[in-house]
Amino acid sequence: MKQILHGLFAAALTPSRLLLPVVGNKVPAGFPSPAEDWAEERTDLNQRYVPHPETTYFIQVCGDSMTSPIAERSIPNNAMLIVDRGREAKHNDIVVALLDDEYTVKRLYQRGNRLALLAENPSYQPMVLNEGQELGIWGVVTAWIMEPQ
């Protein structure tokens, strides 16, 4: 019965069917696993950092405008940004914005009528938008990834 074997074998090769720890799986022989009732799905980077893959994009930082003396706010050169376009940008978000036909990553300042893009690096001037000047927000930065240098 070649055809049946063919089907079975091909199915068993699919890795996703082997990898997922399904809760409540029966152990065929021997002592049942004491962990069975406590099994959980493995922690997944995508689940945490890319909840909306259809509106999420990767963009790489090029330059030092976002390096900051405050370590936890600093986004180093070459960092990979995770950008969600689906999110509504609000005050104090880090955004990818459109300025003079170029994309730039900056912190959004939006208080009252005042709108500005702030660099984290103190040697960069804030870019204050004038009355009537339009700011295009491309997406909101939700996290960044940095490989060891």
Q: What are the residues binding other proteins (CB under 8 A)?
A: 2-3, 5-7, 9-10, 13, 15, 52-55, 57-63, 65, 80-81, 85-86, 96, 98, 101-105, 136, 138
The active-site residue, picked from 65, 74, 90, 123, is 65
Q: How far apart are CA 139 and CA 142, in angstroms?
A: 9
Q: How far is the CB of 86 from other proteins (least distance, A)?
A: 5
The active-site residue, picked from 16, 68, 106, 123, is 106
Can 33 be counted among the known catalytic residues?
Answer: no
CA-based nearest residue to 24, from 32, 13, 15: 32
Q: How far is the CB of 96 from other proteins (least distance, A)?
A: 6
Is 32 or 136 the residue whose CB approaches other proteins more closely? Answer: 136
Is 72 or 101 the residue whose CB approaches other proteins more closely? Answer: 101
Q: How far is the CB of 91 from other proteins (least distance, A)?
A: 18
Can 106 be counted among the known catalytic residues?
Answer: yes
CB 52 within 8 A of CB 65: no
CA-based nearest residue to 109, from 82, 135, 138: 135
Q: How far apart are CA 119 and CA 133, in angstroms?
A: 19
CB 112 within 8 A of CB 119: no
Q: How far apart are CA 149 and CA 146, in angstroms?
A: 9
Residues labelled as active-site residues:
65, 106
